[in-house]
Structure 1
Amino acid sequence: MTKLENHQLDDILNDLYEDESLLEYQYNRYKKAIETFNKLYGEGDFEIYTAAGRSEVGGNHTDHQHGRVLAASINLDAIGIVRKRDNIIKVVSDNYDIPEIDIHDLSFVEEEKGTSIALIKGVIARLKQLGYAIGGFDAYITSDVLIGAGLSSSAAFEDIIGTIIDGLYNDMKIDMVTIAKVGQYAENVYFGKPCGLMDQCACAVGGLITIDFKDKDKPDVRHIDVDFSSFDYSLCIVDAKGSHANLTDEYAAVPREMKDVAKFFNKEVLREVDDEEFLDHINEIREKLGDRAVLRAYHFFKENKRVLDEVEALENDFPAFLKLVKASGDSSYKVLQNVYASSDPEHQSVALALTLSEDLLQDNGVCRVHGGGFAGTIQAFVKNDFVKEYKKGIEKYFGEGSCHVLKIRKYGGKKIL
């Protein structure tokens, strides 16, 4: 606590959050978290852990077809103030007091599905199954990962629980891809929500990563060794204020129509279909499934290859990377068609945010739909020296605080102190 009070952690916090302007905010945030921990559990020694939020950069709606994605950890995170204890896990997450868990009883309970206790138990149970040491702890966890903005607040929570066990009982020797897979297991099996591995991986591994889901049981995860801060661009997430209500059918139609095209070729997913064979049979597919299914399949084949090009561009040619981000966004808008709901054409806040952003940015950045689409947020890569002007301009339309200026950070899950 003394180091925090005396501002002796500047180097650590700047390295972690990639933004010197956030120092005072982070110092205050950490101090408040430690004070809350002490009130809950008493003063004494403690350790501090973090797990990042994430943003999808490339591979829009490719993962469910066993395709490739490009994702990044961001400088919003969950932090945990933690102390060992025997056999019992007690977590308070912001204002939510989670019931105690006895590590001798990590069994799945149907009634706990959809709860935080299920996520914690699932993570601990899976780590135990994999042969890692487990044990009890007290923790206060607080997160500034935006809920409902496609930045994966739940994955950050799963990953910080795994990272805490890694640090307290395994000397930080568990690789972060394993931590991510454990988080996915907890969400799938204990929490009861089917999900891929992208969210957990990006939150745990850190930096920019690419994942190939061709083998869905053993996805290939690769860290892209670039310092994004050297490009002098920031990642902006703009909340276009659209509602996700009543959009379940719109979301579900995307993988369903893609799989319908795969079934035309007697395959389960589009990754198993040859793209040249797809092009040779477009007229027959149109007749059987309609034009939108063809367009969405076409998006998959192009987007899946585009991820490889984006990775290569990040390593060699950043201006080319920006052009590919724009191409990805254009494909999502025109070909995948997930910028507004066809069932609700009167509400097109994402399309409006993209149109206004392109006009504001000109040559100072690029933008695209963020995440699942249809409503919610857009993503923009903006030159650092234009961020202030872009934020002011776009918030004129969507309200103060609607533009969140982020950095891509190096670290995912990490022990800080």
Structure 2
Amino acid sequence: MSTGDAAATTLFADTFGGAPQVVRSAPGRVNLIGEHTDYNGGPVLPFAIDDRTHVAARICSTPGLSVVSSRAPGEVVTVDAADLQPGLVSGWAAYVAGAVWALAGTGAAVPGLEVAVHSTVPIGAGLSSSAALECATLAASAMVAGVELDADTLARLAQRAENDFVGMPCGLMDQMAVTACREGSVLYFETGPGTIRHLPFDPAAEGLEVLVIDTRAHHALADGEYAERRRSCEKAAALLGVGLLNEVSDPAGALDRLDDDVLRRRARHVFTESARTREVVRMLAAGPVAPIGPLLTASHVSLRDDFEVSCRELDLAVDTALGSGALGARMTGGGFGGSAIALIPTDRASVLVDRVRSAFADAGLAAPAIRAVQPSAGLL
């Protein structure tokens, strides 16, 4: 039993008495490149990290849901069966309730559940804490209910929970990364056709590290800006006569047909980010990791200038990382706060850490959390 599984089991016993029937865990994720392309039918390239969310569950006699989290161990949230409906559960428990609701929506006979959650995935850092919670809850609930779910089905149910229960119109990248990623690989997911491919990814073999810089800036995608970007992409696609922007066969010509400057810039990001992601895939399949650095940086510039989802803290992290010897750096996740990543030679990593911390202190900002990550296992 892993340390996280043991922590969830102990919390369960302390709260509900006795042992859980199952414990499942799901990771956070870093997106190497391919931002805001998933809901546009484009490619993404995430990998799982070793921060995980562990969910312990057991059938109980009372219909509905009782759930506790190690982040608020004395607070048991109880949701009546009649309240397992969109809009009736708020806060962190909505992700658990949404997962149970989505499973019940398949026609499965979902019993009353007691659930304990222990997580080390930072909240609001752009590392998919919500998808990890949804997927681990779905996996545990399905096992208790005797329902078999493959990775694709589980990911899509988790997306439905976030879209329709929580109210966050995310694409499928996070949930698919959480369920399908493999240790030592990045996940090449073409969201349009739904195809996946695992590419070996071992920066350490080249003397490199991927550092995650959690800026500690507020990151709450359900508060409107993310949804607005998605609406802009949908409007641009409609004006171009396609269902999704990545269905456009002539991106350059399509941009000339968009008169609205904002829509043109939003579409240009999607077109160029999709091209960058596929180029990174080609480069990783062909050889070393180091040459992808400039494409990571170009991704950040596009997200900052064309998609306008960066912020002061993310830009400072990226600019300082590049000035410290990073081969490439970019914000990762939906934006408006959260984390940046930097690809850097291992012998320069401590320099980057010191300089980023100093830059944040000089700017009067909270100290960022910085650490190296490596591709880890998906749902367990």
Q: TM-score per shorter chain, which class?
A: 0.7 to 0.9
Residue 92, structure 1, aligned to residue 68, structure 2? yes
Write out aligned runs for 1:17-416 (5 A).
27=3, 32-44=7-19, 47-86=22-61, 89-94=65-70, 95=72, 96-99=75-78, 105=81, 108-109=84-85, 111-116=87-92, 118-130=94-106, 134-170=110-146, 173-207=148-182, 208-214=186-192, 220-228=194-202, 231=205, 233-242=208-217, 251=226, 254-275=229-250, 278-280=251-253, 282=255, 285=258, 288-290=259-261, 292-317=262-287, 318-340=289-311, 348-362=312-326, 365-398=327-360, 402-414=368-380
Contact (CA 8 Å) 1:282, 1:294: kept in 2 or not? yes
Partner of 1:21 in structure 2? none
In 2, are the aligned partners of 1:239 and 1:398 still within 8 Å (CA)?
A: no
State the SS of the aligned residue for 1:145. Answer: coil
Identity %: 25
Shift in Å at residue 263 of structure 1? Answer: 3.8
Q: What amino acid maps onto 1:36 in structure 2?
A: L
Classify 1:305/1:259 alpha carbon distance in 2 versus 1 (closer, same or farther; 3 Å): same
Alignment-mate amino acid for residue 249 of structure 2: D
Give the C-alpha shift of residue 247 in structure 1. Answer: 11
Cα deviation digits, residues 128-165 of structure 1 (max 9, x gap): 44465644543321112111111121211111111113
**1:199 deviation in Å?**
1.7
The runs of 5 or more residues in structure 2 that have no matched partner are none
Q: Distance in 2 between matches of 1:328 and 1:230?
A: 23
What SS does the corresponding residue of 1:98 show, helix, strand or coil? Answer: strand
What SS is found at the alignment partner of 2:268? helix
CA positional deviation for 1:169 = 4.5
Aligned to 1:23: none
Q: Between Structure 1 and Structure 2, how many residues are aligned?
A: 367
Counterpart residue identity of residue 138, structure 1 = E
Distance 2:115 2:340 in 1: 34
Following TM superposition, by how much is the alpha carbon of 1:47 offset from its aligned partner in structure 2, in angstroms?
A: 4.2
Query: Which deviates more from structure 2 when the two are superposed, residues 314-323 or residues 353-362?
Result: 314-323
- CA 1:54/1:281 → structure 2, altered by over 3 Å: closer, same or farther? closer
Question: Which structure is larger by alpha-carbon Rg, 1 or 2?
Answer: 1
Post-superposition offset of 1:359: 0.7
- Over 3 Å counting, the alpha-carbon distance change for 1:191 and 1:397 in structure 2 is same
After superposition, the C-alpha distances for 1:53-106 in whole angstroms (9 at most, x for unaligned) are 1222222222232222222211111112344545654321221412055xxx46
CA distance in structure 1 between the aligned counterparts of 2:292 and 2:379, rounded to whole angstroms: 26
Amino acid at match of 1:316: A
Q: Per the alignment, in what secondary structure is the counterpart of residue 78 of structure 2? A: coil
Paired letter, 1:98 = V
Residues 31 and 121 of structure 1, relative CA distance in 2, 3 Å threshold: closer
TM-score normalised by structure 2 residue count: 0.81
| CA distance in structure 1 between the partners assigned to 2:203 and 2:319 by the alignment | 27
